[in-house]
Amino acid sequence: MKKLRPLTAIALALYLLTLSSTAQKSNAPAPDYFPLRVGDSWSYRSTDGDTEHSLKVMNEDKQADGTIRYLVEKLTGAKVLTVFSKSGGWVLMHSERYPEHEGLEIKYEPAKQYLQNPLIAGSKWSWNGKDYTQTALDENHQVVDFEDVIVRAGKFRAMKVASRIVGAAPLTRTNWYADGVGLVKSETDGGQIKYGWELADYSFKKKD
């Protein structure tokens, strides 16, 4: 039996190590900037500290095509029920409904491309249509890059998404999303009207 020369053995070891590392990377789950697990919830507080709202994934409904639709409840003075799904690298929005206000509902057909997922720096997408008030909207979004964001819920390495939305009045919106957590910060600038939100807490936060 021939013995491997020292240099050959080292090269082989490095090659096997590279294969192992590549296999581990390929088995790693893809980043998820918009997690939707039934029961998970998030609470947000305005940057001026005066108001707050919450989000909660209420249930999931498997469709005939195998996709899953998630019902998300938003409580912010009024209740808003939004249906999302995930498909083909997108978070899709299917409908928005205000159950306390009869007839205040919109269904997006085809589904609205709400967010690229996973987010990739430099990517762009656009959407135009009408919102629940039947106001025509023209949206343009761009994924900028990672930034470190500090909010009430902690410090996150988050992907920045800059949006330009033209409707009844033009505005810019900047959102920051963290892998495995979701939206951690949002800023909206409508000229004379400016406001922001930041993540205050979330139900699946790891305890120190």
Q: Report which secondary-structure segment, H or E, holds 28.
A: none
Dist. CA 52–CA 152, nearest whole Å: 12
Structural domain contains residue 3: no
Structural domain contains residue 10: no
Structural domain contains residue 104: yes
pTM summary value: 0.86
Structural domain contains residue 189: yes
pLDDT of residue 7: 46
**Which residue bears the tokens 């940057």?**
47
Residue type, 72: V
Dist. CA 99–CA 19, nearest whole Å: 54
Give Rg (Cα) of the chain.
22
Number of domains observed in the structure of the chain: 1
Q: What is the mean pLDDT of each run of 10 residues along the chain (208 residues)?
A: 52 50 61 98 94 97 96 95 97 97 93 98 96 92 98 98 94 98 97 94 89
pLDDT of residue 23: 43
Structural domain contains residue 8: no
pLDDT of residue 133: 85
Dist. CA 90–CA 70, nearest whole Å: 14
Dist. CA 71–CA 58, nearest whole Å: 6
Q: Are 184 and 161 in contact (CB under 8 A)?
A: no
Structural domain contains residue 19: no
Q: Which residues contact 198 (CB under 8 A, 6 or more apart)?
A: 44, 45, 47, 151, 152, 153, 184, 185, 186
pLDDT of residue 8: 57
Structural domain contains residue 139: yes
The residue segments making up the domain with residue 103 are 41-202
Structural domain contains residue 35: no
pLDDT of residue 70: 98
Domain holding 118: CATH number? Answer: 2.40.360.20
